[in-house]
């Protein structure tokens, strides 16, 4: 009975209207599919366009950085001789003012070979923010009589200004604190160096006798 009613409803609809409605639905579905595909394609195109723009901007930035680096390198190359010349002139002035100054080199045994002082070695401990300079001073008695090690190690900055000092074998009151070094004996002393300011950067040093100022 239901089948008869269903067939009757189909038979009531004209054949031409049925096919037109079906064809319209098919076209509508295809149209939606085309719209979705177009939107997806447009989105991919935008993403690709933004990627190309970003890549081009990054490349331009890299080229600008390379150009700036090249210009800076060229400027440094031009100013380097002038800086070296100024440094040489400054060293000459310092040596003229204090002729006994010695270039301070870290982690290197610097020979002295004068009045019982054999050599000295400077090291840096601590951190990059708070450095501490230490010395190791070696005496060698090549004479016939005992010697008493009593010297000052004085540090200077690049301008020739005293920035630090260490007293070996003598205290602040000028009293001797070391024992005699016998004939043929070698002895080393090491300690930290006191600075006037913690951020001082020494570049020269001088070893002198605390009494007469000469080693």
Looking at the structure, tell me whether residues 67 and 82 fall in a common domain.
yes
pLDDT single digits (tens) 31-56: 777 777 778 888 888 888 888 888 88
Q: Which domain holds residue 149?
A: 102-208
- What is the reported pLDDT for 124? 95
Looking at the structure, tell me whether residues 113 and 186 fall in a common domain.
yes
Rounded distance between C-alpha atoms, residue 179 and residue 147, angstroms: 9
- What is the reported pLDDT for 6? 47
More confident call, 167 vs 172? 167
Quote the number of domains for the chain.
Answer: 2
DSSP tag of 210: T
- What is the reported pLDDT for 108? 97
Q: 215 in a domain, yes or no?
A: no
CATH label of the domain that carries residue 184: 2.60.40
Rounded distance between C-alpha atoms, residue 113 and residue 117, angstroms: 6
Half-sphere exposure of 163 (CA within 13 A, CB side): 18
Looking at the structure, tell me whether residues 72 and 106 fall in a common domain.
no
């Amino acid at each position: 009975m239901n089948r008869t009613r269903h067939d009757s409803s189909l038979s009531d609809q004209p054949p031409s209207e049925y096919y037109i409605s079906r064809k319209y639905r098919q076209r509508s579905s295809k149209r939606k599919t085309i719209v979705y595909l177009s939107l997806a394609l447009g989105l991919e195109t935008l993403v690709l366009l933004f990627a190309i723009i970003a890549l081009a901007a990054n490349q331009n930035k890299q080229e600008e950085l390379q150009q700036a680096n090249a210009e800076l390198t060229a400027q440094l190359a031009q100013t380097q001789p002038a800086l070296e010349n100024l440094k040489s002139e400054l060293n000459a002035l310092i040596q003229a003012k204090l002729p006994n100054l010695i270039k301070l080199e870290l982690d290197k045994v610097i020979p002295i070979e004068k009045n019982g002082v054999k050599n000295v070695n400077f090291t840096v401990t601590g951190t990059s923010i708070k450095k501490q300079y230490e010395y190791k001073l070696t005496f060698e008695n090549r004479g016939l009589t005992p010697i008493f090690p009593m010297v000052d190690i004085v540090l200077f900055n690049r301008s020739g200004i005293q920035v630090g000092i260490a007293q070996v074998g003598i205290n602040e009151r000028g009293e001797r604190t070391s024992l005699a070094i016998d004939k043929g004996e070698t002895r080393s002393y090491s300690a930290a160096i006191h600075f006037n300011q913690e951020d001082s950067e020494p570049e020269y040093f001088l070893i002198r006798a605390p009494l007469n100022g000469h080693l």
